[in-house]
Amino acid sequence: MLDIRQQALDYHAFPSPGKISIEITSPAETTQDLSLAYSPGVAEPVREIAQNPEDVYKYTAKGNTVAVISNGTAILGLGNLGPMASKPVMEGKALLFKRFANIDSFDIQVKHNTVEEFVATVANIADSFGGINLEDIKAPECFEIERALIAQCDVPVFHDDQHGTAIVTAAGLLNALEIQDKSIATAKIVCLGAGAAAIACMDLLIKCGANRSNIFMLDRQGVITTRRSGLNRYKQQFANDTDSKTLTDAIKDADVFVGVSGPNLLSAQQLALMASKPIVFACSNPDPEISPELVHKTRPDAIMATGRSDYPNQVNNVLCFPFIFRGALDVRATEINDAMKIAAVEAIRGLAQLAVPEKVLAATGEASLAFGPGYIIPKPMDERLCEKVAKAVATAAVESGVAKLPLPAKYQ
């Protein structure tokens, strides 16, 4: 039996390098076919689009294509390894877009010196796509980049590590709190990490009812408090008026731990300090802040989730980004707003409370799955995700006035 490292390398190397390719959707066999696909026929849609730019959606694949764009500055929890090293992850996101939502993607790795250069590169190519999925761009630059691109682009721009992660975290956490009989309004939440995922997760949890003063956020220097200086403005919003300085201080009596930082940063001793029936989301990839084995051994009363596919409760943005874009593209939404994000939270959350189809059990190798501590969030291969999340998102887009098209018949 090959180890996971060699299996993963072989998976990426064979049968051909990478894991996606492009397919042709129209005939291209005969002289007649080529006269239509290329010269002279291709001139006709060119003329139409030149006269009416919206016709690009009628005659090209733009409307079903998303660009997955990274600079490789925060590749999973592996750090700033540069644009080229991010390519397997970006091809992976493209695979997931296609597999789960039938969206075509191009992965684009951008070299740049300044934020302005990155923004200009993306803004200048954005019209080629139906949407822009930014990926693995580190904080705090990611916030400025996303804001500038939303302002400059006509298509939806979505930083997956912020909002995809936040949506799935909120969905999983609301379910876990319900199972543990706790309330989001009173839960003490410790967030290890203060970057892209952390700031967006805590922002969305507050929109879902969490109390800002119950949130303790930590970066590499420790707890973010009002006593600290030199905080960037994103961290500043979470500065807590507390004497806690370390993770050990903050974790005492915490109901929830959200890890979006790095590997092996939460110890069994710290876990033992949490309140009864704790919720531990150790979401750093590929190696979580604490292993599920250690959590189950130390705290049998805990609900445990990771970002990985090979453990129960995968809290990972794969449960969101294919479906939020499916909904957004289907109504040609101009942006992905809070109403669409909250609709996605509720749809993902609700799906975990329904009976699990045989097909999902077969794909996961599980004999049974039912809403409870070991199943707080749906599995990515649950086909109902696309139906329910995309529909909820598309409906929210229409109702909040950001859709250019009416709700398609398939969603009515």
Ligand X SMILES: NC(=O)C1=CN([C@@H]2O[C@H](COP(=O)(O)OP(=O)(O)OC[C@H]3O[C@@H](n4cnc5c(N)ncnc54)[C@H](OP(=O)(O)O)[C@@H]3O)[C@@H](O)[C@H]2O)C=CC1
Active site residues: 38, 93
Choosing from 91, 104, 161, 255, the residue that interacts with Mg ion (CB under 5 A) is: 161
Choosing from 121, 237, 285, 334, the residue that interacts with ligand PYR (CB under 6 A) is: 285
Q: How far apart are CA 323 and CA 338, in angstroms?
A: 15
Instruction: Choose between 219 and 255: whose C-beta lies nearer to ligand X.
Output: 219
Q: One symbol per residue from 317 to 346: x for binding ligand PYR (CB under 6 A), - otherwise; what is it? A: x-----------------------------
135 is in an annotated binding site: yes
Q: How far apart are CA 72 and CA 109, in angstroms?
A: 7
206: left (phi over 0), alpha (psi -120 to 50) or beta: alpha
55 is in an annotated binding site: no
261 binding ligand X? (CB under 6 A): yes
307 binding ligand PYR? (CB under 6 A): yes
Tell me which residue of 275, 277, 269, 310 sits closest to 292, measured CA to CA: 310
Q: Which does 103 bind (CB under 5 to 8 A by kind): Mg ion, ligand PYR, ligand X, none?
A: none
Residues 87-106 that bind ligand X (CB under 6 A): none
195 binding ligand X? (CB under 6 A): yes
Which of 345-383 are b and which e, b meaning 16 or more Cβ less than 10 Å from the residue's Cβ?
bbbbbebbeeebeeebeeebeeeebebebebbbbbbebe
3-class secondary-structure state, position 226: coil
283 binding ligand X? (CB under 6 A): yes
133 binding ligand PYR? (CB under 6 A): no
136 is in an annotated binding site: yes
Choosing from 91, 104, 107, 136, the residue that interacts with Mg ion (CB under 5 A) is: 136
What's the closest the beta carbon of residue 91 comes to ligand X, in angstroms?
17
Tokens of 140: 């705090």
User: Which residues contact residue 209 at a Cβ distance below 8 angstroms, ignoring those fewer than 6 apart?
Assistant: 184, 185
Q: How far apart are CA 374 and CA 11, in angstroms?
A: 29
Q: How far apart are CA 124 and CA 250, in angstroms?
A: 45
What's the closest the beta carbon of residue 148 comes to ligand X, in angstroms?
17
Surface-to-core class of residue 304, CB atoms within 10 Å of its CB (0-12 exposed, 13-18 middle, 19+ buried): buried
Q: How far apart are CA 267 and CA 251, in angstroms?
A: 11
What's the closest the beta carbon of residue 156 comes to ligand X, in angstroms?
19
Instruction: Choose between 169 and 316: whose C-beta lies nearer to ligand PYR.
Output: 316
Q: What is the DSSP letter of 77?
A: T
Binding residues: 135-136, 161, 285, 316
* Chain positions contacting Mg ion, by CB under 5 A: 136, 161
Binding residues for a divalent metal cation: 135-136, 161
* Chain positions contacting ligand PYR, by CB under 6 A: 76, 136, 160-161, 285, 307, 316-317
